[in-house]
Each structure stands twice: as C-alpha cells, then as structure tokens.
Amino acid sequence: MPKLWARLEPLVYGSENGLSAYITAARRFGVPARLSIRRIRALLALKCSGLAIGPGVCIWAGLFGGLALARHAAGGSHAEDLGFTDQVIWNFLRGQWFRTSVYQGATWNTEIDIARLARPDSLLAFHVEPMLLLLVPLYALGGDARHLLGLQALAVALGAIPAYRLGVRWGGSHWSGGAIAAAYLLSLLGQWAVLSDFHTSTLAAPLLLLAIERFSR
C-alpha cells in the first residue's frame, strides 16, 4: 500500500497536474477519462481512501453493528430512543406523522411534565427529527429497528473516510490520514453512541466530517 500510494499521492493531492498523467491513472482505476481533471482527482481520492481504510471501516461496522444487534436481542434497547423512533417511522407508513404512544400514561421519569403537553402523542413535543422521514423507505421495504441499528453502525464507520482524507490533505501524508481515521474509529464516544440505541444525532458526526471535507477542498 505505501508504494501504491507513493505513485498516486501526487495525482490525488495536487503536486502533478499533467493531463496525460491523470488520464493514465483514471484508466488504471476505472475512472472515465472524459471527466475534468478536478473530477478525476476527486474520484481517485475516493478510490485511494477506500483502498487505504476500507478494511478497517468494514471491520468496525461489522463489530459494533453486531454488538448493537446482540444488545437489542438481549433486551437491552429502550423505549427512549429506539422504541419511539421505530414506532414513529412505522406510523409514517400509515399516514400518522410523528405519532407515538410511548409517553401516553408514562410512569417513569420523562424529565418533562407530560400533563402539561397538548399533544403527548406527537414526537414533535419532545424531539424535532425530520431526518426520520429519510428512513421511511427502509421500513417500506420491510425494515425494522434492527436495520436502524445496523445502518447507524455503518454510517458512523463510513465517517472514517472523510476523516482520512482530511488528515491526508492537512497533514500532507497518508500516515497522518491513517492516524486521524484510526483516532475517529477508536473514539469511545462514537462506540458508545452506536451501542446506545438509535439517535439521528449520532449520524451528525460522519455527515459533518463529510461536509467539512467537501467544502474545504
């Protein structure tokens, strides 16, 4: 891998601008040569990122996705937040937007005085999570809470790719990129989040990294 990267790094991160060199690299990696140099560079960077940290991303997603599913199968999930998330998405398919019955007649400490709420049957009284609408097709295809847990683990793991690319861009070498990606995947905060039910806010980490990586080009 270091030898491969030594040949590709000048192309991907900007120290060689010859059109013929880009076209040669594009053909080697299956990137259409008719694209602009900037687009070829972006696609080559994505392919190199996958080659460098793809195995780590797959292992992390499989390990923590499996642990999250094992926790769920053992009864470790909670009504807050996986329970109401699952119910709300299920109700979307039946025309009942953001409806949940989790808090109706709740006897546990909800940190909110349910009696003062006009619509305790609406998730919007507790959380505003429009991102849940994007998950409706998953349930339309037969998905359930287990798929939410697996999707969350995969999404968080994929955040290592923009983390790696930022490390390479700012650190100037693939080793710095690998260090940043490893620090991201080994973060206890990310691991804890994946093993603590499902939260749309957990998806913020990979999405923010992707946004920073895209807009810092």
For residue 16, pLDDT beyond 60: no
Cβ atoms of residues 184 and 190 within 8 Å: yes
pTM: 0.72
Q: Which residues contact 115 (CB under 8 A, 6 or more apart)?
A: none
Q: Which residue has the higher pLDDT, 213 or 51?
A: 213
Q: Where are the domains of the chain?
A: 53-215
Share above pLDDT 90 across residues of the chain, in percent, rounded to a whole number: 29
| DSSP-assigned letters across all residues of the chain | -HHHHHHHHHHHTTS---HHHHHHHHHHTT--TTS-HHHHHHHHHHHHHHHHHHHHHHHHHHHHHHHHHHHHHTT---IIIIIHHHHHHHHHTTT-TTB--TTTT--S--SS-GGG-S-TTBGGGT---GGGGGGHHHHHTT--HHHHHHHHHHHHHHTHHHHHHHHHHHHSSHHHHHHHHHHHHH-HHHHHHHTSS--GGGGHHHHHHHHHHHHT-
Q: What angle do CA 38, 41, 45 make, to 5 degrees?
A: 140
Q: What is the pLDDT of residue 62?
A: 94
Condensed to tens digits (0 to 9), the pLDDT of residues 25-40 reads: 555 655 554 555 555 5
Nearest to 96 by CA among 61, 124, 55: 124
Neighbours of 57 (CB within 10 A): 21
Q: What is the pLDDT of residue 14?
A: 47
Q: Which residue has the higher pLDDT, 168 or 134?
A: 134
- Phi/psi at 99 (5° precision): -85, 135
Condensed to tens digits (0 to 9), the pLDDT of residues 62-85 reads: 999 999 999 999 988 887 788 888
Give dist(CA 116, CA 114) in Å, integer: 5
